[in-house]
Structure 1
Amino acid sequence: MAMLRSNVPARNKFATVTFLTKNMKGKKKRFAISNRCCAVLRFVYAVVSAARLQTCLRHDLSCAFRPTREPGGKGDGVWGNGWKHTVSLPLMPRVFVYGTLKRGQPNHYRMLDATNGKAEFLATALTTQRYPLVIATEYNIPFLLNLPGQGQRVRGEIYEVDERMLAFLDAFESVPSMYQRTVVDLEVEDGGAELPPGSITQVFVYSTTSYQPDWPSGRSFQSYDTHSDHGLPYVYREARD
């Protein structure tokens, strides 16, 4: 895995780009390029990143470019002070779970079942935008309504999964009728070296636009827990009529 870091002062003649190669145990190689060359590289990077994101959504792949913001950094959103861009190969999809698939919740065992595929916990995180997280239907199912700007910032967990687990999750979440798999921006709360606390990343999430008219006005939660005092325990699928 390689990481690119760019520090580009607005009026400096040269911009310094640092390549960090994990396989070289953190050994740094530095070189200087002109601001004009850096501007061209920024443009190319932006185009490639946008095209890659479209490919992710079209072909159900995780993003090759994983932009993450370093805590306290300042940047312009493409390259800039405080931004680092990670290119990971081979590609592994990442999924944000916020409901019954979280640790300690009724369906977490499905993430651990090797027959469903592989899932590796990476970090806890909050959505950067507010969304309504509601508990609905007679079975008390948690739903993340795809209504950015409403509700609260939602807390959940990031997992890296293989294609088999992703296919299982698509079927488990009844995509696209009940939930839709989309991309969400997250702020990492507690993660490792690849996802440090405070960094911003994009992953898949199962949210929905298939909700009843009264759901958005119902109680919204920041963090789901079936065992909480809300009095709406999840009804297991095996117990449903």
Structure 2
Amino acid sequence: MAAQGSIIFSYGTLKRGFPNHNLMEDLISSGDAAFITSGVTQQPYPLVIGPNGIPYLINIPGQGRRVKGELYRVSSRGMVRVDELEGTRVGHYERLPIRVERNGDGDGGDQSAAEAYFADRAFGEKMWERIGEGLSEYTVRDGEGYVRKENRPPGSSFLGEIQLFLQPRS
């Protein structure tokens, strides 16, 4: 049961009840992950929704809001699969350290060191400038706007859609 490994903070589609949680379920079934508890970031961070309803946590501590999510312990083998989904090798997300308050009630309780998937630095700050208002939680309603990769237009690319999204509007 993922006794050793990384603790990750999931704030988006990997959470229970969301479109990519099936990966976490697979990892839990194989003993490569375990749900720990809910949590909230110790510091505020921008959480925005970009193209295809994809949530992005942006690495600008002190801006945005404290973000709610879930903590999981994931084995090194499991991390390979999560990193692949999150596109860490191709410039989609970066896995970086974050401090999270366990149980997510915001009362300053038990703190935990974890890692979170932040929007890649190549576009994260620009996305925050473009959207300008952050969320405290990626909700089920937000998740309804998520478009799975297989349902996106043929020939579209993740980074191409980000570039289009960030272009100035006329």
Which residue number in structure 2 is paired with residue 56 of structure 1? none
Q: Deviations over 1:7-51 (max 9, x none)?
A: xxxxxxxxxxxxxxxxxxxxxxxxxxxxxxxxxxxxxxxxxxxxx
Report the Cα offset of residue 175 of structure 1: 0.5
Q: Please, which of 192, 201, 205 is the counterpart of residue 116 of structure 2?
A: 205
* Greater relative contact order structure (CA < 8 Å, 6+ sep): 2
Larger Rg: 1
Q: Deviations over 1:74-129 (max 9, x none)?
A: xxxxxxxxxxxxxxxx6321111000000111111111114886221001111111
Which residue number in structure 2 is paired with residue 102 of structure 1? 15
- Distance in 1 (alpha carbons) for counterparts of 2:118 and 2:70: 14
Report the Cα offset of residue 198 of structure 1: 1.3
Q: Please, which of 205, 215, 224 is the counterpart of residue 127 of structure 2?
A: 215
Give the 3 Å change call, closer, same or farther, for CA 190–131 of structure 1 in structure 2: closer
Query: Higher strand proportion, which one?
Result: 1
Structure 2: gaps spanning 5 or more residues: 154-170
Q: Please, which of 138, 149, 161 is the counterpart of residue 224 of structure 1?
A: 138
- Distance in 2 (alpha carbons) for counterparts of 1:179 and 1:158: 18
State yes or no: 1:130 paired with 2:44: yes
Residue type of the alignment partner of 2:138: Y
Give the 3 Å change call, closer, same or farther, for CA 186–213 of structure 1 in structure 2: closer
Contact 2:5 2:74 in 1 (8 A): yes
Which residue number in structure 2 is paired with residue 173 of structure 1? 86
Structure 1 consecutive aligned stretches of length 4 or more whose deviation exceeds 3 Å: 114-117
Q: Please, which of 83, 92, 99 is the counterpart of residue 5 of structure 2?
A: 92
TM normalised by structure 1 equals 0.55
TM normalised by structure 2 equals 0.76
Report the Cα offset of residue 162 of structure 1: 1.1
Within-5 A mapping of 1:20-31: none
Give the 3 Å change call, closer, same or farther, for CA 121–213 of structure 1 in structure 2: closer
Query: Higher helix proportion, which one?
Result: 2
Structure 1: gaps spanning 5 or more residues: 1-89, 192-196
When the two chains are superposed, the root-mean-square deviation of aligned CA atoms in Å is 2.4
**Identical-residue share of aligned pairs (%):** 35
State yes or no: 1:237 paired with 2:149: yes
